[in-house]
Chain A
Amino acid sequence: MVKVYVNDKPVEVGEGAHLLDAIIKAGYSVPTLCFFKEIYREASCRMCIVELANGRLVPACAYPVSEGLKIYTDTERVRRNRRVILELILAAHRMKCQSCPRKGGYCLLLDLAKEYGVEGIPVCAECPLHESECLLTKGIPCLGPITMAGCNSPCTREGTPCIGCRGPITRKDVLEEAAKLYLKYNIDLDELYSKMKLFWNNHPKLDYIYNVIKEVIKKNTKEGSLR
């Protein structure tokens, strides 16, 4: 048996175990994305990084335990690193929540993004209306595709369109994706703009958001590719 300290709490695990086993045994948790017990232990997502007493950041899933090792799972540095890594993952993520194949399911990325305060995922990811009918299909102007997720979509679930109270997403690819959606269902852009103004009137990027959407709609209308 090897004795290690997880956040200063002593815990004993068997030899050959990894930090993750000790952390779970001590009653703490670390987020894991790529780890799959007995199948994948290659530490590529780096979300499970923890800090050692010597200041090194190591992945909990693949780092072996050794006697007297001190592990800190939730220091400021660890949280900051995890946040940036999550931002990177989301930056390379195809943010097409409206057409995500995991419909109505559980999204680990969304949960982590909420926990670490990373913007980028729209309300559409949470909106359980995925399974039934989207408000946009009825022609109702909803800000869901361009509003930050995290509210668990109480409005859209009840049939009320999103009013963007959590603030906008300013990522260009998300906005473009949303614009195509608006175009597809013939949503009036001016009406949307007036809705945006309700909460985002003082947002420095309001005009940018409006312009990106307008640009996409204009471009695709001319070419007639979507209509």
Chain B
Amino acid sequence: MTWSLMDKCCDRCWHSPEYPCRHYIRCRLNGPLCHEDPECRKKRENRLREIMYGKYGFKIKVPMASCTIAAGAREVYDAVIKEVKSRGIRVDVRKTGCMGMCYIDPWIELVKEGMPAAIYANVKPEDIPKIIKEYLEGDVSGAFALRYRTGKAKGEDKVPLLEELEPWKNQVRWVSRNCGIVDPESIEEYIALGGYRGLDRALNMKPEEVIEEIRKSGLRGRGGAGFPTWLKWKIAREQPGDVKYIIMNADEGDPGAFMNRLLAESDPHRVLEGMIIAAYAIGASKGFIFVRAEKPLMAERLAKAVEQARKYGLLGENILGRGFSFDVEVILSAGAFVCGEETALIAAIEGRTSPRQRPPYPATRGLWGKPTIINNVETLAHVATIMAEGWEKFVKYGTEKTKGTKMFCVTGSVKRTGAYEVPVGTTIEKLVMEIAGGPPEGRKVKAVQIGGPSGGCIPASLLSTPIDYETLQKAGAIMGSGGIVVIDDHSCMVDVAKFFTSFTVAESCGKCFPCRIGMKILYDTLEKITNGEGTEEDIEILEELGDVIRSSSLCALGGTAPNPVLSTLRYFKDEYLAHVRDKRCPAKVCTRLVEYWINPEKCTGCGTCAKNCPANAITGEPGKKYVIDPSKCIRCGRCYITCPVGAVEKR
């Protein structure tokens, strides 16, 4: 067992969870503080270097988050271990979190003292021997990017630095600073990188001062609604009674949003630290982490972080000797989208279902009738960072109304899918076209869907809109949790609206009529339109029904569920009209509204289409041109998929 940074340096150090020391956190980085001993100091400094460069001055990092594992990181990890063992290289192979650049997954990073830290992208297990061999020979020319340069390696000037890369250059990595760097399962590494300093500082202040600090930073809830965090805390703090709760909402459920998972999987201690600070500010004695069971790794890492923090006295009785006691329990949720609504989340923890009418708000009457604060994962990560770095640095970014940075997940039709952290107020164009690289060649952005199924579509003409709570609301979308789905000209907007509506129909809890029945009728009407049976009356129904569902539903799920329909109606009404008037789908997506035909110039007469046609609508002889009979065609699209030369076309 090696000596860990978290352990006692010698018997003179008396910190333990039972008898916590006030200077514990500072002592880790600048210690020992209670006694002077060059021996102890050297021991600590050596350990810090070991964490930085590995035990043997050489470290290989393999990202292990759900996303990278899905891309094949586990196989890469096994290959690295095998290679290291077979060649007998003295190296520390560590697991880290995800950087947020999904398009280079799985990547590995090699760090050796005196060498530049090189990142290799899209690594396959069979590439590993070559990569390690080259790196050890001092050649980094095959790397994707370097974290820093030393000027000693071969081919160093040909490889760009990470911060010179387009997706990195425009980012401000504030909460995600440790993602991809720190080992998420090691509290030691987090502390070595300056972690828990924020908690140390917060516990030195009065709770009111902590709230004041957050007020000055202007932090607003990153979960979607943008309610000022300090105000929420203040309301809860001023409530009478000594039992208060705090809940971390890690139940991220929007399709296309994964920044909470990324943060909690790659840097769980930061999130936990924020939660302890928040608990101290409102005076909560017990916290709950409400995390999706569908994201087992995220739950596992958070549980592990809680366990480690408890082990070193950062959770439990009398934290850091400041007389504040707090403990956390991890609760697995069943994964309902409606739990994004605070009251539904509380009901789920209590063992009941469905949201209730607000007010009273949870800050005054929440879990088991006690004042409860619910904060998003990202908000809490911001809290920890603000407390560590100070609000002055935070307010440098952002707009007048919203300060700081926000993580966005850009998915859909872009070259560089990923989670990027940018200052609030960055334009959508910059995020989509510059950072994420825009759509693949030959395609054009048609719209972006912001905020998942509760958000709205913003057309390409409004891409210069700065991203902020108010501006997005004005444009008909919401910030939501920050998922951005880029839609190109190969997508039909009615179909997109239908997709998001089908999601909310499935996720509606069924308590109130407008959401339960109204959304189903909205979906049926959309289906009617995409099947070519719609009339102009149906469009009026969509508009009226959407407005009623929005204004009279019980909770925010129903209140925002018609947004995709209403926003596409607002900006793409001509597409809806083309569906109902001309019975035509401009993007050629709605299968019932397109006609398949075989281009005689391309057809080679192979007969694959005729063999695959389930309706026997394709006639012809091998070697000659085939023809589709439109009256028999059921528009299943099999010929379109199976044709080897692409002769089947839509019109």
Residues of A within 8 A of B (CB): 42-46, 49, 57-59, 62-64, 77, 80-81, 84-85, 88-89, 91-92
Contact = CB atoms under 8 A, between A and B. Distances in A.
Interface size class, chain B: 10 to 19
B552 A44 contact: no
B133 interface: no
Contacts of B545: 84
A22 to B, nearest CB: 16
B523 to A, nearest CB: 13
B357 A46 contact: no
B357 A57 contact: no
A44 B511 contact: yes
A45 B545 CA distance: 16
Given A49-B552, A57-B552, A80-B548, A85 B514 contact: yes
A88 B511 contact: no
Main DSSP-derived SS at the A contact region: mixed
A88 B518 contact: yes
Interface in B220-257: none
Given A42-B356, A64-B360, A88-B514, 14 more contacts: A42-B511, A44-B513, A46-B513, A46-B514, A46-B552, A57-B551, A57-B552, A59-B554, A77-B551, A80-B548, A84-B545, A91-B517, A91-B521, A92-B517
A43 B552 contact: no
Nearest to B545: A84
B389 interface: no
A81 to B, nearest CB: 5
B512 interface: yes
Contacts of A58: 357
Nearest to B551: A57
B464 to A, nearest CB: 30
B512 A84 contact: no
Contacts of A49: 552
10 contacts: A43-B357, A57-B552, A62-B357, A84-B514, A84-B545, A85-B513, A85-B518, A91-B517, A91-B521, A92-B513
A89 B517 contact: yes
A46 B517 CA distance: 12
Contacts of A88: 513-514, 517-518, 521
A119 B32 CA distance: 81
Most A CB contacts (10 A, CB to CB) among B511, B512, B516, B545 go to B512
B405 interface: no
Contacts of A92: 513, 516-517
A63 B554 CA distance: 11
Contacts of B544: 80, 84
Given A64-B360, A84-B548, A85-B548, A46 B512 contact: yes
B359 interface: yes
Contacts of B356: 42, 62
Interface in B503-540: 511-514, 516-518, 521
Contacts of B512: 43-46
Contacts of A42: 356-357, 511
A35 to B, nearest CB: 12
Contacts of A46: 512-514, 552-554
Contacts of A57: 551-552
A63 B357 contact: yes
Contacts of A85: 513-514, 518, 548, 552
Nearest to A49: B552
Contacts of A84: 514, 518, 544-545, 548
Contacts of B517: 88-89, 91-92
A59 B357 CA distance: 8
A57 B514 CA distance: 13
A53 to B, nearest CB: 15
A80 B544 CA distance: 9
Contacts of B554: 43-44, 46, 59
A171 to B, nearest CB: 13
Nearest to B518: A88
B20 to A, nearest CB: 43
Contacts of A77: 551
A64 to B, nearest CB: 6
Contacts of B548: 80-81, 84-85
A85 B512 CA distance: 10
B552 to A, nearest CB: 5
A49 B514 CA distance: 12
A53 B373 CA distance: 28
A134 to B, nearest CB: 30
Contacts of A63: 357, 359
A80 B554 CA distance: 17
Contacts of A45: 512-513
Contacts of A64: 359-360
A198 B636 CA distance: 46
B511 to A, nearest CB: 5
Nearest to B355: A42
Interface in B351-365: 356-357, 359-360
Contact of A89 (B359, B360, B513, B551): B513
Lowest 4 CB-CB distances: which A-B pairs, in order?
Answer: A62-B357, A84-B548, A88-B517, A43-B357
A49 B513 CA distance: 12
Nearest to A92: B517
Interface string B72-114: 0000000000000000000000000000000000000000000
A81 B513 contact: no
A75 B521 CA distance: 25
A57 B357 CA distance: 12
B357 A81 contact: no
A62 B555 CA distance: 13
A46 B554 CA distance: 8
Contact of B551 (A44, A62, A81): A81
B166 to A, nearest CB: 44
A84 B356 CA distance: 22
Contacts of A43: 357, 512, 554
A80 B545 CA distance: 10
A57 B549 CA distance: 11
A45 B544 CA distance: 18
A81 B552 contact: yes
Contacts of B514: 46, 84-85, 88
A58 to B, nearest CB: 8
Contacts of B359: 63-64
Interface in B570-605: none
A84 to B, nearest CB: 4
B505 to A, nearest CB: 13
Nearest to A86: B513
Most A CB contacts (10 A, CB to CB) among B512, B513, B517, B545 go to B513
A92 B359 CA distance: 29
A80 B547 CA distance: 10
A139 B378 CA distance: 71
A54 to B, nearest CB: 12
A58 B552 CA distance: 7
